Amino acid sequence: MTAFIELNRVSKHYGGNVVLENLSCDVSEGEFVTLVGASGCGKSTFLKLLLGTEGVTSGHLLMSGQAVPLEPSAERGIVFQKYSVFPHLNVRENVALGIEFDGNPWLGRLFGKSRRAALQQADDWLESVGLEQASTQFPHELSGGMQQRLALAQALIKKPKILLLDEPFGALDPGIRKDMHELVLKLWKKHQLTVFMVTHDLQEGFHLGSRLWVFDKVRHDPHAPNRFGSTITYDLPLRAEDPLAMTPEVNEITDQLSISSNVKQLRLATK
Ligand SMILES: Nc1ncnc2c1ncn2[C@@H]1O[C@H](COP(=O)(O)OP(=O)(O)OP(=O)(O)O)[C@@H](O)[C@H]1O
Ligand SMILES: [Mg+2]
């Protein structure tokens, strides 16, 4: 059987800067992969390869057996920590815009019946992300959590199969983050999405993922730090019933990322 996403010796260089090297693995449809690793190790670059805004330098990155097209498409949606909206459009119009651009790439807007249908779809998505009360507000009037709900609705209205999340909750308060975690898990299950989510928060990675990847370098050249790139050094399946189980691998990762005490405390608290 063909894997949904297949990485075969994928490398990405920017000139002489080797960012990623030799990534190989398969991902099935419906997995929730969380990505952790030091700043600058290539996590966002990896998402850009999946999105198709960057191409691989060597190796193969396949989706359903085909090379990932070098342009964003409806099947891949992305949410960044900071996102882009049209400030002069309200929440509902910003969400509907994804469909409007699809329907009419020259004018960018729809009219009459098709516009009403686009707005209706926007309303449905706003409801599923819990933002229906804010549909006529403008982006600058929203809180950080509401802005990320809007970003999720914008990404999902085009019904992607793959959702790419680049530290989407990094700027939110802990309480709001928790609500967003529940929302993202609900959307993942309901729409059978395949999710790749970058996070700096290892606890978030363990809590949300069905699989956790650590990106790191296995080779270092002290005289030329850009000579070698990161690869997937750990690929951990997470058990839903006990994602923080202190297996030897989890211990090693948490020690490596120097936050073992937090995770160990959390584990004790969840016992
Ligand atoms: N468009 C680009 N052109 C040249 N170099 C780039 C480009 N995008 C990223 N890089 C380089 O690739 C490396 C990895 O960057 P990337 O943004 O993927 O890291 P990251 O793991 O997402 O870091 P962070 O956790 O800080 O977000 C860095 O050395 C960066 O300078
Ligand atoms: Mg990044």
Going by CA atoms, what residue is nearest to atom 23 of ligand 1? Answer: 40
| Residue pLDDT tens, the chain, 271 long | 679 999 999 999 999 999 999 999 999 999 999 999 999 999 999 999 999 999 999 999 999 999 998 877 777 877 776 667 889 999 999 999 888 766 555 556 667 887 888 899 999 999 999 999 999 999 999 999 999 999 999 999 989 999 999 999 988 999 999 999 999 999 999 999 999 999 999 889 999 999 999 999 999 899 999 999 999 999 998 876 665 555 666 666 666 665 444 444 444 444 3
139 vs 135: CA distance, rounded Å: 10
CA dihedral 246, 27, 16, 78 (to 10 degrees): -100
Residues with CB under 6 A from ligand 1: 14, 17, 19, 37, 39-45
141 vs 171: CA distance, rounded Å: 17
Domains and CATH numbers, the chain: 1-75+160-257 (3.40.50.300), 86-158 (no CATH)
Which ranges constitute the DSSP H helices of the chain?
43-51, 91-103, 112-128, 144-156, 174-190, 202-208, 248-256, 260-270
Lookup result for tokens 């989510």: 197
pLDDT of residue 271: 35
Q: Which of 13, 14, 217 to mutate to test the pocket of ligand 1 (most atoms within 8 A of CB)?
A: 14
Q: Report yes or no: 178 and 92 within 8 Å, Cβ to Cβ.
A: no
Taking the whole predicted model, whether its pTM rises above 0.75 is answered as: yes
Residues 14-56: tens digit of each pLDDT: 999 999 999 999 999 999 999 999 999 999 999 999 999 999 9
Q: Work out whether the CA dihedral 180, 190, 214, 10 comes out positive or negative.
A: negative
Q: Report yes or no: 134 and 127 within 8 Å, Cβ to Cβ.
A: no
